[in-house]
Amino acid sequence: MFLRALVCLLGMISGFAPAAAPPEIDASLATTTKAPPPLPILRRVVDVQLLSQYEAELGYPVQIQGTVTYVNPGAGLATLRDSSGATFFSLPEQPDETTSSITRGTVVRIIGRTQRGSFAPTVVVVGDAPVGIEIVSRRTQPRPTHLDADDLNNPANQSRYVEVRGVVRGHAPGPLKFGEGNIAISISASGGPFEAILPATDKTAAEIDKLIGAVVTVRGIYVPIATQFHKLIGIQLLAQDWSELLIEDPGLGAFAEIPIRTVNSVLKFQPGTRLRQRVSGIVTMDDPERGFYLADRTGWLWVETPQRDPVWPGVMVQVVGFPSDKDGYPALLNAVFAVVGDTNQPQPLTVTASGAYSGIFHGAPVRMQGKVVDHLIQPDSQSVLLESDDHFYQVRLLADRIAPLPELPSVGSLVEVSGICVNEFRRGAQNQTTNTAGFHSVSFYLHVRRPSDLALIAPPPFWTGRRVVWALLLIAVALVASMAWIHALRRQVERQTLFIEDKLERETVMEERTRIARELHDTLEQELAGIQMQLDAASGNLGTAPEVAAETLDMARAMLRHSRNETRRSVWDLRSTALETGDLESAFQEVMSMLHGQNPDVKISITCRGERKRLPTQIENNILRIAQEAVNNAVEHARPKHIKIALDYQPASVTLRVSDDGAGFAPGHERSAKDGHFGLAGMRERARKIKGRITIESKPNAGTLVALTVPNAFDTASKPNKT
């Protein structure tokens, strides 16, 4: 049937099923089927250990000869060691004379079967399996294998007889699988903690308590503690009896015999130095999960202990532990302690970040100042990053580890911290003379108990980096908006300017037309009316008084000549742009160049003093015309060689001086309008219009000076007219 099933399975894999065999073929197959071969007999411990847990359950037969290293009749357990290894085997449930005489060191031959174990295969009694124990001989006690820190958690030590050195931490009832009344001694070794299982004893609890803190060497069978997936998570040592617990250094009951040393001598040689050392001092900081810092008058050190008795800053303790440099600084490891009193908490030392960085204050209570740079949050703790003297360091909270962030100082705050300085040391380059490498400090941090140990000195400044960035962004946005608004305003101003210029141009034209009409009315029309009156008078006197008629005609001709000049001047005023494009000085230059620039017989010079300012349009226009008239009179009547025009700007007035070196005239003999000369009269009339004072000084052959002073000339501002 088995062969038929195998053929069917192969047929299904290949894609087809074989035809049903005739009944006679089935019968022949059944008669030819062979039983599976028997399992081989295992004759060495290593052969048992090489089996998988699945193979061990098949029950391989075992026949092994070796030395018994542990016997526990109460639990029905024993261990056997041969040259290849060691393994557990079970004792019969009903011990006989042979099994009762088995002790450690007995050479036996065991017959049994394999079975799955909690960590590795073992040899056990299962049902009616053929199991037997035959005593071969008696030998001396086996020697244990010493396990160092690196070997303590090596699963290859399973079932071996070993010895481990450590410190007793406590005791409790042992597990029932090793028998009733067992005691489990908790021991801390350099490779980690483990339990020593010892048989029941008549020792009192007080006697066992005295072992706490003792340095012991335990001998026993290495028993791994495994998970359901057969992975090592701890170890136990099965001791045959209490003689397997060797006390090397007494426990708490004998601490008084160990001399007290100062902290700074912990790592120094002294006559009579013992395996452990004892110090006394004041606790400066405690970490409930690891240990505490201790100080005396000579220095500070770290005490690392699994003892969980409460201590607090200021309490006096005595400590016994193993001295260590702890990566460059003194420490007592695997220590036990006793509280002996209470005192005042030591005052912290005020140090700088550079001083703390040097490493000389390691373990000391210190007080420092720094600026908060950041908060470092971790799942079970939080720290504050500070900066001082160009050094960055952490402040680690040992208590109140889940305090909310608002209780911590804000970033940028100036704080004062009180805590324990802890340096990180690293080994430097090797010294060629001593062939050693020393430690040096590479960083430090502060241990504090709670956020209240960070005292706020000054809050963070308002202008932080983030706020400066936001302010710059707002300024940039405001600048862009201002530029856009200025651009829009400029376009609006340009439009308004064009509108105002157009309107001003129209108003200027209207004003100029009105002015010309007024001047034509005041001058040309009146003079034409005067000419008409003179002609009428000449016509009436022509027959009766020819001489009077002749004088009247001469007057009419003079008035007509003056009217022509005024008409020409009015037309020129209409077309002039001298005052539109510049001030009075430039207008003088333009007018004099146009009227007298081609006259080689006279030189005209123009000077200006004071701060040049624009005057109201009416004042500038009349000053220009007065100067023009004065120059015309000099050129026409005095035949000068040089004419000087001088403008003098004063804070509240302006003065015009026109002088020449011509023929001049005697005072009182100047030509008047009665003689047909209207120049001086026109200048005086223009001076009155602008409320100015005009004076004329002249002497025969000494030239003439025309001076015009206009007070309060800057009271009214006006733009020049456009024509």
Residues 298 and 238 in one domain: no
CATH number at residue 161: 2.40.50.140
Same domain for 211 and 103: no
Whether residues 592 and 719 share a domain: the answer is yes
**Residue, of 697 and 34, whose pLDDT is higher:** 697
With contact defined as beta carbons under 8 Å apart, do 424 and 441 qualify? Answer: yes
Q: For residue 381, what are the CA distances in angstroms to 132, 399, 475, 504, 527?
A: 60, 9, 41, 81, 112
DSSP secondary structure letters along 434-488: TTEEEEEEEEEEEEESSGGGEEEEEPPPSS-HHHHHHHHHHHHHHHHHHHHHHHH
28 & 41 share domain: no
Tokens of 136: 């071969």
Q: How far is 386 from 5, CA to CA, in rounded Å?
A: 78
CB 440 within 8 A of CB 411: no
The pLDDT assigned to 714 comes to 74
Q: Out of 254, 288, 314, pick the residue that ends a domain.
A: 254
pLDDT-derived band at 721, boundaries 50, 70, 90: very low
In this structure, are 504 and 398 located in the same domain?
no
Maximum average pLDDT range among 88-92, 201-205, 260-264, 613-617: 260-264
**In terms of residue numbers, what domain contains 327?**
258-342
The pair of structure tokens assigned to 545 is: 């008084």
Q: What is the pLDDT of residues 508-531, one digit of tens each?
A: 777 777 767 666 666 666 667 677
- Residues 82 and 129 reside in one and the same domain: yes
Write out pLDDT tens, residues 75-127.
Answer: 888 899 998 989 988 887 776 777 778 888 889 888 888 888 888 888 865 44
pLDDT value of position 528? 73
**Of residues 325 and 722, more confidently modeled:** 325
Last residue of a domain, one of 575, 590, 610: 575
The reply to whether 297 and 315 lie within a common domain is: yes
First CA to last CA across the chain, in angstroms?
Answer: 134
Q: Are residues 407 and 499 in the same domain?
A: no
Give the predicted TM-score (pTM) of the model: 0.47
Better-scored residue on pLDDT, 9 or 317: 317
Say if residue 660's pLDDT is above 70: yes
In the three-class reduction of DSSP (H, G, I as helix; E, B as strand; rest coil), residue 345 is classed as coil
Same domain, 629 and 711: yes
Three-state SS annotation for 217-242: EEEEEEEEEECCCCCEEEEEEECCCH
Dig out the tokens for 699 from the structure. 């002497």
List, as one string, the DSSP characters of 290-313. Answer: TEEEEEETTEEEEEE--------T
Greater model confidence, 614 or 596: 614
Rounded-to-10 torsion of CA 10, 16, 19, 20: 60
Phi and psi at residue 415, in whole multiples of 5°?
-130, 160
Q: What total of structural domains would you count in the chain?
A: 7
CATH code of the domain containing 628: 3.30.565.10
Same domain (yes/no): 594, 706? yes
Query: What would the DSSP string read from start to end of 376-391?
Result: EEETTEEEEEEEETTE
The more confident residue out of 569 and 315 is 315
653 and 716 part of one domain: yes
CATH number at residue 109: 2.40.50.200
Residue type at position 626:
I
Q: Which among 46, 79, 71, 48 is positioned nearest to 223, based on CA atoms?
A: 79
In angstroms, the CA 383 to CA 681 distance is: 102
**Contacts of residue 606, Cβ cutoff 8 Å, sequence gap at least 6:** 585, 588, 589, 592, 645, 646, 647
Q: Check residue 519 and give its pLDDT.
A: 66
Tens digits of per-residue pLDDT, 37-46? 888 999 999 9
Going by the DSSP 8-state scheme, the letter that residue 572 receives in this structure is H
Q: Which of 364, 312, 298, 302 is nearest to 333 (CA)?
A: 302
Whether residue 59 has pLDDT greater than 50? yes
Q: Do 203 and 86 belong to one domain?
A: no
User: How many degrees, rounded to 5, is the angle at CA 199 between CA 194 and CA 201?
Assistant: 120
423, 458, 493: which is the final residue of a domain? 458
